[in-house]
Each structure stands twice: as structure tokens, then as C-alpha cells.
Structure 1
Amino acid sequence: MYLMDLQNVQAAPRELKITSTSQFNADTFAPHGISVVEDSKQGRHVVFVVNHPYGDEAVASRVEKFLYDPLKQELIHQTYFSDPTMMVVNDLQATGENSFYFTNSNYFTKPLAVLLEVLLELPLTDVVYFDGQTYTVVDSGLKSPNGVAMSPGGKYVYVAYFVAREIAVYKRNEDNTLRPVQKYPLYGWPDNIQVDQKTGHLFVALHPLAYKFLAYTDDIGGQTTPSQVIQLAVEDGLIKSSQELFYDHGDLISGSSTAIVYDGTLLVGSVFHNLVTCKVNVPLL
């Protein structure tokens, strides 16, 4: 886990200190999705991280909860969450200090079975909500949901469907169940979603060519795959329009997985490759 100062993007990201506990082994920690809850009154950050522990075939996924100590640049492990509803967890969106939505991107865990699940577009996965006590499936029969995010104020939830090539918009009910209100098609396979907390607009990292991305994941050192970032304009929770912010054939960055704009600078992360920053040279929506 690394910390990057977006006010000084030329500085190298700093690795955060993480210490093992009786409940958590830092040596087998394999982080995936991440969500942060900021408590401005107490001046602290709660960090939830999807973990696929190395070497533990019995546990494909679990969620770790940390407290961030800014003085020591350290993540302090608090507890973990594990449940049979966690198949292959891809991403999560915290709604409080002990509650979150999460996506299961795959039903199967073996590489060949996962490949067939994606190629055959099997609707075997779901979105789950944990309220601190109970895990509830809030949408099911889905095709590889990846990133999940929430609108400022928490009225809407956005889910990126990799295989279906769309962003699904849900209205969040008072009991935290989800009501689908929009499906926005994309010309690419979406990975993660970031929300501009001021405007509510979305930044989405895409894989423009799925076959190249799948070949790349099988031969990371010998293949490249394109990267793309788009911005989606949102009005009253619904997506109204889109524009491309970034495209690369794969030489600069392969397999874009997440992106965010801060003060005119675009930060693009990848699944296995580089971290890239560049100035945005088009007007934002």
C-alpha cells in the first residue's frame, strides 16, 4: 500500500508501514479494491481493503479494516471481515466505519474456469451489502461486476460491469438495498470508478480491447495492452454524457485500472504495470 501526494505528483509514492497481528499476516497481504471513510471530527481515516491472501486457497477473499496514522505513515490493522458471500471480491465502497458494498467479479477461482466464465459471459456473480452484522445480496445474476462507487451524499451507487461493458446506476434505498435506474453502455471494458466529490462526475478506467488485456494478464512481460480513461458527466445521479481524457496503446501504461483528476492532473493506475500522471488538456465536463 502506497500514499501519493496529489499536490506534489513529482514526489515518489511512499510505502505505508503495515504490521502483522494475530488476525492479519502482512507477508501474505495481497490488496485489491480500497475504500476510505474520513472522520473529519476525530481527524482520522478508516481504510477498507480487499485482500486475496497469498498461498491461502481456503480464503479467496476477505476485507481488512485499518486505521491510518498520518504521523507514522502507517496502516494499523483493526479487524477483518469474511463470509461465504465473498467469492472473488473485486472492489468495495464503504458506507460507514463497519459497513460497505462489495462486488464479486468472478464465481470461479481456478484460472481456466475464470477465463471460461468471462468468455461465455456467464451471469454468475453479484453485489453484496454488509451492514455491520448481516451480509445481503442486493443484486445477482451479473456479468463480472468490477468497480463500485457511491455518489456524494450516498443516494446513488455505481457499478462497472466488465463483461457487459456498461456502468449500472442504482438508487440506494433506506434499507441499503439497490434499485436499478440506468445502464450506460461503454465502448470498452470498465474496471474501476472514481467519483469527483465536488461535481459528482465519474472517472472510469477502461480496457479498450478485452482480448489484448486477457493475453496481457497471461504474459505480462511479453505483451502490452491499451489503456483508456473517460469522464462521465452526472446530473441528479444519472449519467448524461461522456468524453475521453486519456488513451495509450500500452507502451506508456498497460491495463489501466483506475483514474482520478486532481487540480488539473490526471493520475492513472494499472493492474500490473505503471502509475502515470499527466496534465488534462481538455475542458472537464
Structure 2
Amino acid sequence: MYDLTKRSYKAEEIPVVGLEDAEFLPHGISHWVLKDGTIRLFLVVHSKNFEHSIVILDFDEKKKQLNHVRTLRDPKFYRPNDILASGENSFLISNDGGACDWKIANVLEIATGFHQGSLVHFDGKNAKYLLEKTATNGIILSQDKKTLFVSFIYHETIGVFDWNERKQEIRKVSEIETQSACDNFHIDEEDNLWSACHPVLKEAAVHLGDPHNPALHSPTQVLRFKFSPDRKTAETVEVFSDDGRFTSAGAVAANFDKGRQMLIGTVFRGVTHCDIDILLDF
């Protein structure tokens, strides 16, 4: 837990209570606020054997602990990367590749371009494919929950879709070229889309293949996208850029404090806390 109202630059570890799984390796994260104000977390969790589940936790603010609610597994959750809560028990997940856990198969999938990933919606009981045979990464909804943004990281594009939750259907509106491999997303109060990106994806792959090697690092770029009213074009501003020696392989960027501060999360290393003291609109 990191208090955004202070400048302690220190995160506090909080316990997870009632979790039955011995291996808890969280990856993607999302949240939903319940009717009573409780913050519910949705987590993509992996095991060391590359087995996957979705873990749901409720935050007890008084006790400063997370209480286990439910663990979900489904054949369609075969390689989840990011998760996006859409209700108290519903969510979308992105599968960034095929179900095979062989390293050589994953390399071949990326090299050949025959991606076997997907986009899945879980309504609380059943899972349904929204997209198939494509590598999806970051996913997020607009403030009104009607527009879905999807990162196609290997194509260096962001897909924009109309989202109909009642019918569990999406309709493509546009696809924005980013000139960078955008990872995960954040939507700010003005409906601008923020993403931490890998401007040199091959360097990110080398770094992630040996993440504990201090000699290896990967550049990080943070981009903010302001979409046109028809959502078919976007103005792009580069908010942050680093060669990787300070912030390596940034995976998500979230602004707060009315846009004056930003956190950048990395895949394997520390979190960067920045002040934003420049105008982003011209």
C-alpha cells in the first residue's frame, strides 16, 4: 500500500488473509468499489509452474489487510496478462499468447506473428471470447465504461472498441499507431489514456529473460493519448523517457494529484514517483 497523500517514498506491505494457494505471484491488477464502499481487487496470479488463476480480494481498511473472496480458474484464462474489473464479480482479461508453457513455443509465436492470445470477458459465471488469435496486453475502459482500449503490443497499436456489457460484445472503432510497444493503461479524470511503453521491444525481451542481471535494462517511455470526439485519432504527448538505467521496462503509468504527480511501475524493478511540472496541453 502506497499513500499518495504523503511523500514517504515507501510502500507498506499488507497481509493477504484466507488465501488457500501456497504460490501467490500477482501480475495484472484492477479494482471495483462495492456498494458499501469496499475496494475489491482483481488479480492475475501465476504459479512457478506457469499455472494461472484470477484471485479476488477485499480490502479491510480498518485492519489494513486483504481478505480472500474467491479464486477462479477457466480454460480460457490460459495466459492472462492484464485484468479489468467490470462489476462486483465480472471482469475482462487479456491473454498475451497461447496456452503452451514451452519457452521455445512462445519465442516462435512472437517471431512468426501467429499469435494465439485472446480477449475474454467473465460475467461472474461463464467466460466468453471477445477476440481470438491475437496478442492482447493492456486493457482499460473509459470513464463512462462504454469505450474499451486494448494494447496490441507486438503491432505497436492501440485498438479502440465500443463495449456493450449487456450483450458481451465489442465493435471496433479505430486502431491508433503508437510507434512504441505500449504495455498497460491508466485513464485519468479527463478521459486521457496513459501508458508505459517499451520503445525498444527487443531490449525489453532480453532484460525480461534475465531480470536479475543488473547489467541488463530496457528503455521506458510514458505516453499520454488525448482522443478526438469520434475516437478515431489521438494527440500523443511523451511525458517521460529514460534509457532504462533509472526506470527499466516500465509497464504502467498512473497520474494523480490533478495531474501533477505520476507513478511508473516496472516489470521487475522499483516504482518511480515523478512530479509533472510541464504543460501537457498546448
Q: TM-score, normalised by structure 2?
A: 0.93
Q: Distance in 2 between matches of 1:128 and 1:153?
A: 20
Q: Distance in 2 between matches of 1:237 and 1:176?
A: 22
SS at match of 2:96: strand
C-alpha distance after superposition, 1:173-226 (max 9, x if no partner):
241211111100111111101111x21111101001011111111222131110
Aligned to 1:73: 64
Q: CA deviation at 1:43?
A: 1.9
Segments ≥4 residues shifted beyond 4 Å: none
Q: Distance in 2 between matches of 1:167 and 1:16?
A: 34
Aligned to 1:8: 6
Matches within 5 A, 1:1-285: 3-21=1-19, 24-25=20-21, 27-39=22-34, 41-55=35-49, 60-107=51-98, 108-142=100-134, 144-173=135-164, 174-196=166-188, 198-220=189-211, 221=213, 222-236=215-229, 238=231, 239-263=233-257, 264-285=260-281
Q: CA deviation at 1:237?
A: 6.8
Q: CA deviation at 1:119?
A: 2.1
Q: CA deviation at 1:120?
A: 1.9
Kindly report the root-mean-square deviation, in angstroms, between the aligned alpha carbons of the 2 structures: 1.5
Q: How many equivalent pairs are there?
A: 274
**Alignment gaps of 5+ in structure 1:** none
SS at match of 2:93: strand
Q: Is the 8 A contact 1:51 1:61 kept in 2?
A: yes
Q: Distance in 2 between matches of 1:190 and 1:109?
A: 24
**Alignment gaps of 5+ in structure 2:** none
Q: CA deviation at 1:101?
A: 0.7
Q: Is the 8 A contact 2:79 2:117 kept in 1?
A: no
Q: Which moved more, 1:176-185 or 1:230-239?
A: 230-239
Counterpart residue type for residue 201 of structure 1: N
Q: Distance in 2 between matches of 1:48 and 1:237?
A: 31
Q: Is the 8 A contact 1:29 1:54 kept in 2?
A: no
Q: Name the structure with the higher strand share.
A: 1
